[in-house]
Structure 1
């Protein structure tokens, strides 16, 4: 019986071993990632770049807020320094009065005058004493006012410093998120062959073969349009055409590199118009226009989160800074989901 039981045990163990091996083999097959096609890689890279662009716009907004906070903090510190100087002067003046009263014995002015060896000048000196007491009271009030003001300034400055510290931490988190997305995109692009990657970076429609290039235009291959929505729009366009071929670098506004909203901000700044820093604030910086009403110089925005912007040049095309690895170039506005347009004033 013992031998029979041992035999059954061995058979069971063998069966379990075979089943385990089969399970391991099947799991190995299930876990093996299928080889992605170039088109699938392109789609994932496009999505990662779009996420990075959205994070970049949040970074730009936080950076602009931090710069305002720092400016406000510096102003408060300057005002506090001036207030401290006034307080020191007021305290010195009050200290001189107190010292004089101490040296004189601290007697009431009327008593001191009554004991004066020259009673004929009593009334005149009494009038002077009254004015002195009034000045003393004013000196005390000035000291109190400056102390109160200085306390208010220090309290406000402490709040601004707390805000700035929080904004700097947020910038670090946003920067890390952007670099994470861009790193993932680079690793995906490394799976493409050199010709496939070159076609992707050039903005061609098909990364799997020669295909048909999109209407993205090589630097210097286009001339500025003949008409624009006014002289300022023409100046903005001239700047944008001059930026063709310059690299995309997130968080930059030129003159040697740009991100998307940095390019549009710099272009309209050259035209004398101050635009805010981010896509989601630029879309409200002017007159909203429909897609059918677009004129050269208008700002065109993309994606549901309004995370990308370009400068319309006419003929269904724009100049924009696409993403890392792709320089400023002319491209069709239909290559991304349209979100709206604005005509800066």
Structure 2
């Protein structure tokens, strides 16, 4: 068999590339991908929280936030009351100070007149009148007037000093409460940030809908009642659907104690914008005695409340992102009932 000459290759010429099958490239790509996945940090897929889980988380967070909100309401309400008292005392002190100045001026005038005229005025009066009895009467009258003037000065000075002492004490309390008010108000940024975070969580599950379904669970009030309590409970029912805004007492938004303050205010009963204070501003009522218009309080620290409307239901401003609504009073631990008025 004849030998077939082999084709010589030039040393300057590179060898021709070897063509790998497409299947080989795919195999290598899969291997590389597997290696990369193996080297990547392990990740565990978490299911998105359910709406109920988000509501539970919000409730827990709100239990921590609402006491701070109510403490702010308490301090701010006390500060407003004390500032009003201070202004009233200031108005009382001003005329007293003026009376003291005028009385002292009159006494000074009497003294000045005596020193200017001297004892000879007595003799002149005697010689002029010619009647020693008349002169005695005049001197007695002058002495009585001087004593009465001095008594008036003493009384006015005492009243002025008493009011000044009250105002000084009150001003010290106002300074302390102003500091507390400022410190609590500075927490608004932190609270508002937490509220925003909770709202974002809620919107992720509900969008723009409200939590807890329908805002009404039937007629409101559930049972009829007249008088001031009837006015209060009807006012509260009329606020259903308005948004919760902390530290707000209406008319367009409310927090829990702001709603009850607003409603009973329409009935002519003044309540403090603070759950703890409203706990002390009404008559103690048992659950069996509760009627529409009564206030119902929750949790051992009294940080939430609502207005009872009958049939085991209440109207309340629940928390941020929610609205004034009807709810069962048994959704939270009931501490007790109070009847304003």
TM-score band, normalised by shorter chain: 0.7 to 0.9
> 155, 159, 162: which one pairs with 2:165?
155
Q: How many residues are aligned here?
A: 298
Shift of 1:263: 0.9
| Cα shift readout 1:112-169 (whole Å, capped 9, x = no counterpart) | 556x3x5732332232123213322332343344334333322321221111111111
Shift of 1:260: 0.7
The match for 1:11 is: none
Matched position secondary structure for 2:133 = helix
Q: How many Å separate the matches in 1 of 2:109 and 2:242?
A: 67
Residue in 1 aligned with 2:65?
52
CA distance in 2, matches of 1:303, 1:58: 15
Counterpart CA distance in 2 for 1:89 and 1:224 is 63
184, 189, 195: which one aligns with 2:194: 184
Moved segments of 4+, more than 6 Å? none
Map of 1:180-329 to 2, 5 A cutoff? 180-191=190-201, 194-198=203-207, 202-204=210-212, 213=213, 216-217=214-215, 222-225=218-221, 227-329=223-325
Q: Name the larger-Rg structure.
A: 2
Deviation at 1:285, TM superposition (A): 3.6
Q: Are the structure 2 counterparts of residues 68 and 43 from structure 1 closer, same or farther at C-alpha, using a change threshold of 3 Å?
A: same
TM-score normalised by L of structure 2: 0.75
Where do 5+ consecutive residues of structure 2 fail to align?
Answer: 1-40
Distance 2:95 2:183 in 1: 37
> Aligned partners of 1:272, 1:113: CA distance in 2, in Å?
67
User: Aligned runs of 1:134-153 on 2, under 5 Å?
Assistant: 134-153=144-163
In the TM superposition, what are the counterparts of 1:47-196 in structure 2 within 5 Å?
Answer: 47-104=60-117, 106-107=118-119, 110-113=122-125, 116=127, 118=128, 120-191=130-201, 194-196=203-205
Distance 1:143 1:198, change over 3 A: same
CA distance in 2 between partners of 1:97 and 1:276 (Å): 53
- CA apart distance, 1:320: 0.8
> Which structure 1 segments of 5+ residues have no match?
1-27, 205-212
Which is further off, 333-342 or 235-244? 333-342
Change in CA separation of 1:297 and 1:113 when aligned onto 2, cut-off 3 Å: closer
What TM-score do the two structures reach when normalised by structure 1?
0.74
Quick one: distance in 2 between partners of 1:326 and 1:282? 23
* 1:190 counterpart SS class: helix
Q: SS of the counterpart of 1:301?
A: strand
Q: Residues 131 and 297 of structure 1: is their aligned pair in 2 closer, same or farther, counting only changes over 3 Å?
A: closer
Root-mean-square deviation over aligned CA pairs: 3.1
Name the CA shift for 1:226/1:60 in 2 (closer, same or farther; >3 Å). closer
